[in-house]
Amino acid sequence: MDALRLRPSLLSARPGAASPRDHFLPPFCSIQRNGEARVCFSGQRTQGPSLYHSQKFFDWQSSYSRISRQSTSTSINASGQPLQSEPEAHDSASIWRAISSSLDAFYRFSRPHTVIGTALSIVSVSLLAVQSLSDISPLFLTGLLEAVVASLFMNIYIVGLNQLFDIEIDKVNKPTLPLASGEYTPATGVAIVSVFAAMSFGLGWAVGSQPLFWALFISFVLGTAYSINLPYLRWKRSAIVAALCILAVRAVIVQLAFFLHIQTFVFRRPAVFTRPLMFATGFMTFFSVVIALFKDIPDIEGDRIFGIQSFSVRLGQKKVFWICVGLLEMAYSVAILMGATSTSLWSKTATIAGHSILAAILWSCARSVDLTSKAAITSFYMFIWKLFYAEYLLIPLVR
């Protein structure tokens, strides 16, 4: 850089040189257009080496300006690909962070364990209507997809509505939920649940299946009555009524309505209540009661503060915990007996072995739970949902 500087010595007087005023740098203007620079000089006369050095100085300024502008706008890496400038990279990172944060908030808002449970239950019950491999056709898959998508939309409406009316309770029990943490405003929550309810009913109406539409409608009514804080509603305040709501949806509506959707609407067969369907309804009655009771065990603190008279509040966590474990073990025993009476060898083997394994795992895990730890109880509650998923993998094998 020192070699490029205009040194005063270059302009110093020397024998035979012009007077200092002749070496005064002339006025100039720098015009930049399309990446090029042009230097304009005044018409004053300049003599000797000073003109040469002045021109070199301005030529260097012009070249430096072009090089700097080109390197900023079109940086090229070793592979020949243009590199993003620092502000552009920062903007891209900010956009991706915002998208990731929004998806994470919606994931938590949708209560994914209920979404998985709903999808698995509908697929499992729909398979009970399949009588041969030829039934698994594009027609069946289309009808199944319509039922699953419409039901997931309704599921998000129900769990979202519950969060809207439980904001203060969730600040104590579930502070990481978007409404309780402040990531979502109540207006955002209202908009989400309204859109998903409308999409659920819209898809159900477009499909034209009466069993599907009635399943959506009854779920909507019970889910709304369970949560909304209006006179004679907010049924979750009563432990018995709350359990009946969950039982009606998870044990009855899911099993019967979606089986009939596939059986009568998709396959155009007469409505029949088969042995596997009755088993699924009975078993899930036990499981739904367990979920209804157990979900309140980790939430006892907030429920007690806000006057929710759950069984956990009334009877205590430990007693309700072992009631739930006992009910599930009873259900597994019935399932094993059901398998033993099957006329199909492969069904008998799968049903007995599968439910025996699940019963043993449940008992082993239950004995190791620390009932004084909210984290341990919550973890076991999520384990019960995993047993719920596993049961829907076994139900299609019951014949």
Distance CA 94, CA 90 (A): 6
What local confidence, expressed as pLDDT, does residue 82 receive? 52
Residue 40, sorted as left (phi over 0), alpha (psi -120 to 50) or beta, turns out to be beta
What local confidence, expressed as pLDDT, does residue 80 receive? 52
Distance CA 339, CA 283 (A): 13
Query: What predicted TM-score, i.e. pTM, was given to this entire model?
Result: 0.73
Distance CA 29, CA 286 (A): 89
Strand partners, 208: none
The distance in angstroms from the start CA to the end CA of the chain is 88
What local confidence, expressed as pLDDT, does residue 85 receive? 58
Task: Give the 3-state secondary structure of residue 368.
Answer: coil
Domain chopping of the chain, boundaries: 104-272, 273-398
What local confidence, expressed as pLDDT, does residue 187 receive? 97
Contact 315, 366 (CB under 8 A): no
Strand partners, 37: 32
At residue 49's C-alpha, the angle toward residues 45 and 55, to 5°, is 70
Mention the CATH class of domain 104-272.
mainly alpha
What local confidence, expressed as pLDDT, does residue 176 receive? 94
**Which portions of the chain are predicted below pLDDT 70?**
1-89
Q: Look up residue 17 and give its DSSP letter.
A: P
What local confidence, expressed as pLDDT, does residue 93 receive? 84
What local confidence, expressed as pLDDT, does residue 120 receive? 95
What local confidence, expressed as pLDDT, does residue 306 receive? 85
What local confidence, expressed as pLDDT, does residue 4 receive? 42
Q: What is the pLDDT of residues 61-119, one digit of tens each?
A: 444 444 444 444 444 444 455 555 566 667 888 899 999 999 999 999 999 999 999 99
Contact 121, 250 (CB under 8 A): yes
What local confidence, expressed as pLDDT, does residue 359 receive? 96
What local confidence, expressed as pLDDT, does residue 89 receive? 64
